[in-house]
Amino acid sequence: MTLLARTGAVLAIALSQAALGQHNALAAEEREAGWTLLFDGTTLDGWTTAGNIEAWVVKDGEIHTTGNNGWWLRTKRMYRDFELKLDFLIPPGGNSGVGLRGSSVGDPAFTGMEVQIYDTHGQEPGLSHCGAVYNAIAPVKQAVRPPGEWNTYHIRLVGDTLDVWLNGERIHDGQKLDERGIFRSPDQPLPLRDRLPTGYVSLQDHGNPVRFRNIRLLDLSPDPDPGDFVPLFNNRDLDGWFAKGTGKWEVEGGTLVGRDGGGHLYTDRLFTDVEIRAFVRVNTRGNSGFYPRALPPPNNPESWPIGYEAQIDNHDPRNWTGCVYGRAWPDGGYQRTLITRDNAWLDYRVRVVGNRVRTWINGVPMVDAEVEPFPQGHVALQTHHPGNVAEWRDIQVREVKAE
């Protein structure tokens, strides 16, 4: 089925449901296609917030914002590639948004991106108007209805390509996540291409009453979040970790930052068979590493760890991002195309079961190899050299069974 035909079918399903008054339910065609409800119509199960959870109220099959410091309500699972549909209703002057690929810390409008919800009916489209990718891409037309009427978003985000329909009208057609995007003003560039490639779906409480319903998603990610990752870092301090070496480690706005080096930050806890994922960014000429099992050398604990290092380096083709340093490389070895770059966030996933080590970057398989056994160790993060900056967000872990 072509994308146009598929979109027509989805819109027909949505219209038939609306006509029958069936909200917060999947049509048979959607269930067969793999869609899931993100909102069950009665609870906030599957959602959380860094703000005031009591500011989010479920009433009459809808999620209501109350303007009481609700911040962003976000899913507990992460999503990379997906189609998302939801209905929203805004009051006169209402303002909200749909966050895509945001992190659990910071503002999802800028750690990921925000498709704007705003009372701009009848106005010319702009970078902050309804349908815009906030402060980055204006919609091609203004399709939002007058305040007090329900609207429907259909959003498709795959890789670096975004398509959006508002009330059945296509307002973004194959938009690329490129160099466009600013933070608060034009002198603060924040390119879409450098933001998180994976993250949470979220809804914004902007201080005014907005209502949501019929929130459902089709996960198109090559490696869907299984839903049982737990945080390894509390976003506040270094509780549960210890440092070795000369590197400096600090928590800045929920981001774990390692500077200078060489130095390593270890978990107190030891792991055997484990899968770990994190969002990582290094500065220009930055170098870092991600150890799923590591031990400080007994003869010199301040030196480089013993264990597997999932490398982060965008300049050395002998051992660049995605390889297991000095031990295993992707198919194609040194010749494989590098898919990461300095100053851009990446989604790193490492799985170690027995002697088998696998790595993924932004959902792309990199290494799958049997390596020298290190049966148990700490998770460790690296900062490499003077001037080096390595940033980490949403460090998560799940223990896995032997294969």
CATH number at residue 22: 2.60.120.560
Written as one letter, the residue type at 102 is: G
Domain count, the chain: 2
Q: pLDDT grade, residue 30 (50/70/90)? A: very high
Span 87-104, average pLDDT? 97
pLDDT at residue 2 greater than cutoff 50: no
Residues 273 and 195 in one domain: no
**Which residues constitute the domain of residue 293?**
230-399
Quick check: is 364 in a domain? Answer: yes
Peptide bond into 262 cis (omega under 30): yes
Residues 39 and 122 in one domain: yes
pLDDT of 334: 54
Residues 69 and 176 in one domain: yes
pLDDT of 3: 43
Quick check: is 225 in a domain? Answer: no
Residues of the chain with pLDDT > 70, as a percent, come to: 93
Quick check: is 157 in a domain? Answer: yes
Sign of the torsion formed by the C-alpha atoms of 166, 171, 177 and 181: negative
Quick check: is 224 in a domain? Answer: no
Residues 145 and 20 in one domain: yes
Give the DSSP letter of residue 324.
B
Domain limit, last residue, from 219, 240, 257? 219
Domain limit, last residue, from 177, 197, 219? 219
398: left (phi over 0), alpha (psi -120 to 50) or beta: beta
Is the separation of the CB atoms in 331 and 271 below 8 Å? no
Token pair of 401 as six digits: 């069974």
Span 209-231, average pLDDT? 96
pLDDT at residue 13 greater than cutoff 90: no
Residues 147 and 260 in one domain: no
Q: pLDDT grade, residue 369 (50/70/90)? A: very high
Is the separation of the CB atoms in 167 and 49 below 8 Å? no
Higher pLDDT, 13 or 113: 113
Quick check: is 250 in a domain? Answer: yes
pLDDT at residue 14 greater than cutoff 50: no
The whole-angstrom separation of Cα 199 and Cα 359 is 18
Q: pLDDT grade, residue 318 (50/70/90)? A: confident
**Phi and psi dihedrals of 18, rounded to 5?**
-60, -40
Residues 77 and 173 in one domain: yes
Domain limit, last residue, from 165, 186, 219? 219
The whole-angstrom separation of Cα 71 and Cα 342 is 30
Span 306-329, average pLDDT? 93
b/e string for 305-338 if b means 16 or more Cβ within 10 A?
Answer: bebbbbbbbbeeeebbbbbbbebbbbeeeeeeee
Residues 207 and 349 in one domain: no
Quick check: is 340 in a domain? Answer: yes
Half-sphere exposure of residue 52, counting CA atoms within 13 Å on the CB side?
Answer: 12
Span 326-341, average pLDDT? 80
pLDDT of 317: 85
Residues 177 and 263 in one domain: no
pLDDT of 164: 98
Is the separation of the CB atoms in 292 and 371 below 8 Å? no
Residues 299 and 278 in one domain: yes
pLDDT at residue 35 greater than cutoff 90: yes
Residues 215 and 259 in one domain: no
pLDDT at residue 250 greater than cutoff 70: yes
pLDDT, tens digit (0-9, with 9 covering 90-100), for 98-139: 999 999 999 999 999 999 999 999 999 999 999 999 999 999
DSSP one-letter string for 255-307: EEEEESSSEEEEEEEEESSEEEEEEEEE-TT-EEEEEEEEE--TT-TTSPPEE
pLDDT of 25: 96
Residues 353 and 247 in one domain: yes
Higher pLDDT, 13 or 198: 198
Radius of gyration of the chain (CA): 22
Residues 179 and 255 in one domain: no
pLDDT, tens digit (0-9, with 9 covering 90-100), for 164-200: 999 999 999 999 999 999 998 999 999 999 999 999 9
pLDDT at residue 393 greater than cutoff 60: yes
**Phi and psi dihedrals of 161, rounded to 5?**
-125, 130
**What's the mean pLDDT when you consider all of the chain?**
93
Token pair of 223 as six digits: 């490696």
Beta bridge mates, 231:
396
pLDDT at residue 331 greater than cutoff 90: no
pLDDT of 336: 64
HEC letters along 5-73 = HHHHHHHHHHHHHHHHCCCCCCCHHHHHHCCEECCCCCCCCCEEECCCHHHEEEECCEEEECCCCCCEE
Quick check: is 60 in a domain? Answer: yes
pLDDT at residue 233 greater than cutoff 70: yes
Is the separation of the CB atoms in 175 and 137 below 8 Å? yes
Quick check: is 321 in a domain? Answer: yes
pLDDT of 21: 57
